[in-house]
Amino acid sequence: MDMSSELKVEGDFPIHFRYTAGLAGERFLREIKDNGRLVAARCSKCELNYLPPRIYCERCMSKLEDYVTIASVGTVDTFTVCKQDSDGKDLPQPATVALVRFPSAHGGLVHKVKGEVAIGDKVRVVFREKSKRTGSILDIEHFEKIA
Amino acid sequence: MGTSLKEDDIERQKVLTVAYRPKVKYAWATGIAIGRFLMGLRAGEILGTKCEHCGRVVVPPRTFCEWCFKESNTWVKLPDTGIVNTFSICYITADTTRVKTPLIPAVIGIDSTTNAGFLHLIGGVKPEDVRIDMRVKAVWLDASERKGSITDIKYFTPLK
Amino acid sequence: MYSLAIAHMQILAGLFDIVAVEAHSKVSDIVDISPVYDLALDPIYTRPLGLNANFIVGLEMNRYLHTSGATSQDCKKVVEKNRRNAISNDLAIKSANSKSSNDISDSISYPLTRNDVAPLADGAAVVVLAVEDAAKNLRDDPIWIKGAGWASDSPTLETRDWDKATYAELASKQAYRQAKVRDPAREIQLAEVDDTYSYKELQHTEALGLTSQSSAHQMLGQGVFDLGGRLPVNPSGGSIGMGHTLEMSGLVRVVELVKQLRGDAGKHQVHDAQTGIALAWRGIPTASGAVVVLGNR
Amino acid sequence: MFVKKRVAVVGAGLTKFVRRAQETGKELAFEAVRQALDSCNMRIQDIDSVALGSAPDAFDGVHMKGEYLLDGAGAWRKPYSRNFVGGGTGVFSPIHGWFHVASGLYDTCLVVAEEKMSSCLPHPQAAFLTIFDNMIERQLGPNLIWIFALEMQRYMHRHKIPKEQIAQVAVKNKRNALDHPSAQIARAVTLQDILDSEVLAWPVQRLDISPVSDGAAAVILASEDVARRITDSPVWIDGVGWNLDTTYWTNRDLYFPRYVANAARMAYEMAGISNPRKQIDFAEPYDPFDYKELHHMEGLLLCRKGEAPKLTAEGVTERDGRLPICPSGGLLGVGNPIAAAGLMKICELFWQLRGEAGKRQVAGDPRTAVAQAWGDLMQIGTVVVMRS
């Protein structure tokens, strides 16, 4: 084969992004930032409380406008111990991550866990100190196992 | 129903946003035909291919004729002259920043091809003097500076 | 495989007599695929965590092993089977046949190890579809599309089904309805299913109704899914054995299934198969997939 | 041509088009879908399949954004797939939906198109860089406007068209959009305003171009028997066509979009249209730039090559003219959230053919109309013919 077929041309996307949290995301993140609590959007037709909230029910496509507070204690549905960061490089320390379900909510939250957990463990949501919150999902510091 | 925001609403954090910079990087293999085309440019030559089925001579070269859908393996050395098929006088960059000295992109129809050509720049001429159908010739980088890139041709300039 | 389903509709609608379907992978042009997967994650809720997208695979694999009772050893058996099957497949990438390792240091996102992940590969595949009359003119032994289906579960990590591959179940139900397959475990003789990650083969085999929920690892252990077994799964070697060509993988599964049903599969030929199924999954972070049921009569 | 099932549009929905929307892409898609369902009193449970159109992932900034958007698009646990043919996507989306119903596999299909271009920084135009060849074009420092400027210049040269005749299109469309509730940049501008606007890449000036937008659109398709149960006035998709020319765009003469002509012939043949100039009552050709409307009128065989500027000057293409073109206000007036803008044109055909376009309603009693979009690397035409 011709050597020229080995030539490579390097490149990337010279763009970056800025995403709005959206109508439901704004409400969710503000509640965490201002009040340190989780809210879900209620579909009264399907009797589901969407966590994180949305402006629509994905099942019946009703517009959702009512929000309910969700107690920030839940159960580990599944977890993993992730070794790499988003670029594929090793994390300084492996991160335990869990999908946590909450009793009255449809959905749940995916976030980091402090310490070890097993499926079925009860955990609570630990919010960042109020002065340090920025209106991001990282205003949740981690889940913490309840002894 | 499409809640309109002003840039200011975001900058003053009236609404929440997440900033993100993608780190996707590529190293595109040039492939067989373009790899050889780029090697030709390094050697100071414009290479095309001929389809032995329909007789069409094309540049950029390709390993197959997309009309006949047959292999096209006959390589042809083309002259570095041609005509301006169309051109523009461009005052902005890709992110819409304004520039003082305009670029003059053009589709250059290369001589001895079957109405084929490629995108390049026009130089060595005042923008207002560029015309469609004007005859042009490639201005090359010095051989020592050429590296197998489309920019081994600096630009095309009117043929005196 | 979505492309095949869409071409199928174009023919059924009466729009065209013959349609070519192409898929390819040139993943080698991407320096590292991790940032590409990262860009597919929800930008508000998931991406800020800064984790490699394969954490989603770790979460799902852990949940699957927990609910099904399968173990990491069972997943290792999937890998061994598929690599073994690929040895006689000329289209398989060579590196895919390398020896399996299960070193704990190879953990990527517990319980997922490097060994569970199909190696990336470049390639291209084309399938030509023809309406019945045209097909009969083109060759004596066309392979028939008996049914096709595709479906998506919720795209969000929070509200999708984590206990089974619901997208594959829904997609296969559509395809079975069209194909008039009532009892897939009896009527389907071989399967080419997505195995981007080892456990996915087990999870997908169950979702297609080829074996009951949580039983795939037992069937695997009994050799049912082996090349010479009662219901060979990925006799081609799958993506684990052949190389993972991203979204082309679904069409590779179809090409391999066509070869089997024609009796052209060479050394990895399954004995006397008449009806087979192929399944594609769209990869992380999706819960979407497509299914096609093919038959040779 | 034999088509297994005749397909109708029975409902439509459209968000406002805005420069920056607070809604996420999913939320925009939901708003359009909800409106489309409400417009024909349907429930999401009545929808058998969903077809999404959305242009490059690099606008919204989500890889595989079709997957990301699917819950907002109403596709939860349904057969769902995304089509993408660049700028041609919006008009290809109903064709993609048409396959579902015309094949007989599904009775209904929800067609959704979404674009959130404001996510992309420093400017969405930079996302277009990768449409240029990575090996032999990107090194030259191109930007998207180049391809339009090069094509426009060739078109003007070939037919000796002065710039003033092209700029008339922008005047008309921005004015038409004053009557569109979704419009982003409707305004009364004069020809002189356009000719005086900033030169970006000659002959392209600032006001020759449609804006950057966020928005979503949705239409609902149904098979004939189902459609008649849903509404007394279904609008039929009687012709679909698409065609791709070679990717080697520098090997083509850019003065005429032969791929659009090929796509139009395919759609006209299916719809039994032998003389489009007589049989088409109005049209929504793709107008991201003003010259494109003219280029596409010719591609759609609605006039002779080079004749579109003259018809525009004579007022033939005004809303009360003999052949109204872009009565919606088009991309130049309503806005250009790429795929959603194309589907907006299908919505316009639907409303106009039902006589529901309000102040935008074209004169006479339109029975047959055509919508068209254009995309990929200046190479695809997508065409839909609809009848009341």
| pLDDT tens-digit series, residues C166-181 | 999 999 999 999 999 9
Location of structure tokens 């959230």: D337
Among candidates A82, A136, A138 on the partner chain, residue whose Cβ is nearest the Cβ of C51: A82
The Cα A102–Cα A124 span in angstroms is 10
Q: Is D99 on the interface with C (CB under 8 A)?
A: yes
Enumerate residues 6+ apart whose C-beta is below 8 A from D119: A17, A18, A19, A20, D25, D59, D60, D61
Assess whether the previous peptide bond of C48 is cis (omega < 30° from 0): no
The answer to whether residue B9 is domain-embedded is no
Q: How many domains is chain B partitioned into structurally?
A: 1
Give the residue, C179 or B73, on which the prediction is more confident: C179
Adjacent-strand bridge partners of A84? A90
When pLDDT is cut at 50, 70 and 90, the band that residue D130 belongs to is confident
Q: Is D33 on the interface with A (CB under 8 A)?
A: yes
Q: Is A53 on the interface with C (CB under 8 A)?
A: no
pLDDT tens-place string over residues D162-184: 999 999 999 999 999 999 999 99
The answer to whether residue B19 is domain-embedded is no
Tokens matching residue A58? 């994905």
The answer to whether residue B14 is domain-embedded is no
Check residue A3 and give its pLDDT.
Answer: 44
Tokens matching residue C44? 């508000």
Q: Is D24 on the interface with A (CB under 8 A)?
A: yes
Q: Do residues D348 and D14 touch, judged by C-beta distance below 8 A?
A: no
Angle of helix D163-176 relative to helix D144-159, nearest 10 degrees, comes to 120
D44: domain range? Answer: 7-120+211-387
The Cα C22–Cα D314 span in angstroms is 47
Cα within 13 Å of Cα(D152), Cβ side? 27
Which DSSP string corresponds to D162-226? -HHHHHHHHHHHHHHGGG-TT-SS-----HHHHHHSPEEEETEEGGGB----EEEEEEEEEEHHH
Q: Which residues of D touch C150 (CB under 8 A)?
A: 79-81
The average pLDDT across C101-116 equals 82
Tell whether the model's pLDDT for residue D331 goes beyond 50: yes
Q: From the CB of residue D359, how many other CB atoms can be counted at a distance below 10 Å?
A: 10
B17-20 and A16-20 strand pairing: antiparallel
Using the beta-carbon criterion (under 8 Å), do C35 and B29 form an inter-chain contact?
Answer: no
The average pLDDT across D264-291 equals 98
Q: Is D44 on the interface with A (CB under 8 A)?
A: yes
Using the beta-carbon criterion (under 8 Å), do C285 and D67 form an inter-chain contact?
Answer: yes
Q: Which residues of D touch C2 (CB under 8 A)?
A: 81
B117: domain range? Answer: 27-158
Tell whether the model's pLDDT for residue C229 goes beyond 70: yes
Using the beta-carbon criterion (under 8 Å), do B28 and D135 form an inter-chain contact?
Answer: yes
Among candidates C2, C13, C39 on the partner chain, residue whose Cβ is nearest the Cβ of D103: C13
Q: Among residues B94, B125, A16, A8, which one has the least CA distance to residue D141?
A: B94
The Cα D182–Cα B158 span in angstroms is 49
The Cα D291–Cα C223 span in angstroms is 66
Distance from CA of C118 to the nearest CA of B (A): 21
C256: domain range? Answer: 2-295
Q: Do residues D238 and D268 touch, judged by C-beta distance below 8 A?
A: no
Q: Do residues D330 and D287 touch, judged by C-beta distance below 8 A?
A: yes
Query: Torsion angle of alpha carbons A128, A129, A134, A135, nearest 10°?
Result: 60
CATH of the domain at D278: 3.40.47.10
Q: Do residues D369 and D190 touch, judged by C-beta distance below 8 A?
A: no
Distance from CA of B43 to the nearest CA of C (A): 26
Measured in degrees and rounded to the nearest 5, phi and psi for residue C199 equal: -65, -25
Q: Is A89 on the interface with B (CB under 8 A)?
A: no
Tokens matching residue B18? 């997440």
The answer to whether residue D254 is domain-embedded is yes
Distance from CA of A123 to the nearest CA of D (A): 28
Distance from CA of D143 to the nearest CA of C (A): 23
Among candidates B37, B58, B105 on the partner chain, residue whose Cβ is nearest the Cβ of D142: B105
Q: Do residues D254 and D341 touch, judged by C-beta distance below 8 A?
A: no
The Cα D83–Cα D51 span in angstroms is 8
Q: Among residues D44, D374, D371, which one has the least CA distance to residue D235?
A: D371
Check residue B95 and give its pLDDT.
Answer: 76
Q: Which residues of A touch B36 (CB under 8 A)?
A: 2, 4
Check residue A12 and give its pLDDT.
Answer: 85
Q: Which residues of C touch A85 (CB under 8 A)?
A: 50-52
Which DSSP string corresponds to C127-195? EEEE-HHHHHHH-SSPPEEEEEEEEE--SSTTTS-SSS-HHHHHHHHHHHHHHT-S-HHHH--EEEE--
Q: How many domains is chain D partitioned into structurally?
A: 1
Q: Is C134 exposed, middle or buried (0-12, 13-18, 19+ CB in 10 A)?
A: middle
The average pLDDT across D299-315 equals 97
Task: Walk along chain A (147 residues) in steps of 10 and give the mean pLDDT of each run.
Answer: 61 91 98 98 98 98 98 98 95 97 97 97 98 97 95
Query: Which superfamily does CATH assign the domain made up of A19-145 to?
Result: Nucleic acid-binding proteins (2.40.50.140)
Using the beta-carbon criterion (under 8 Å), do A20 and D22 form an inter-chain contact?
Answer: yes
Check residue A4 and give its pLDDT.
Answer: 45
pLDDT tens-place string over residues C251-279: 999 999 999 999 999 999 999 899 999 99
Q: From the CB of residue C264, how many other CB atoms can be counted at a distance below 10 Å?
A: 10
Check residue A7 and give its pLDDT.
Answer: 81
The answer to whether residue D138 is domain-embedded is no
Check residue A6 and give its pLDDT.
Answer: 64
The Cα D186–Cα D175 span in angstroms is 6
Among candidates D44, D61, D130 on the partner chain, residue whose Cβ is nearest the Cβ of A19: D61
Check residue A2 and give its pLDDT.
Answer: 41
Distance from CA of C31 to the nearest CA of A (A): 9
Location of structure tokens 């997967």: C37
Using the beta-carbon criterion (under 8 Å), do D121 and A15 form an inter-chain contact?
Answer: yes
- The residue of C24, C29, C37, C128 whose CB has the most chain B CBs within 10 angstroms, and thus the best one to mutate to test that interface, is C29
Among candidates A21, A78, A95 on the partner chain, residue whose Cβ is nearest the Cβ of C59: A78
Q: Which residues of C touch D71 (CB under 8 A)?
A: 154-156, 159
CATH of the domain at C146: 3.40.47.10
Check residue D125 and give its pLDDT.
Answer: 82
The answer to whether residue B133 is domain-embedded is yes
Tell whether the model's pLDDT for residue C46 goes beyond 80: yes
Q: Is D64 on the interface with B (CB under 8 A)?
A: no
The answer to whether residue D326 is domain-embedded is yes
The answer to whether residue B50 is domain-embedded is yes
Among candidates B23, B27, B28 on the partner chain, residue whose Cβ is nearest the Cβ of C35: B23
Tokens matching residue A111? 């976030």
Q: Which conformational region is residue D78 in: left (phi greater than 0), alpha (psi within -120 to 50 degrees), or beta?
A: beta
Using the beta-carbon criterion (under 8 Å), do A9 and B28 form an inter-chain contact?
Answer: yes
Check residue D131 and give its pLDDT.
Answer: 85
For residue C122, give the chain B residue with the closest CA: B29
Q: How many domains is chain C partitioned into structurally?
A: 1
Check residue C104 and give its pLDDT.
Answer: 53
Q: Among residues D53, D81, D308, D238, which one has the least CA distance to residue C250?
A: D81
Adjacent-strand bridge partners of C277? C191, C293
Q: Among residues C295, C244, C250, C280, which one has the least CA distance to residue C92?
A: C244
Check residue D1 and give its pLDDT.
Answer: 65
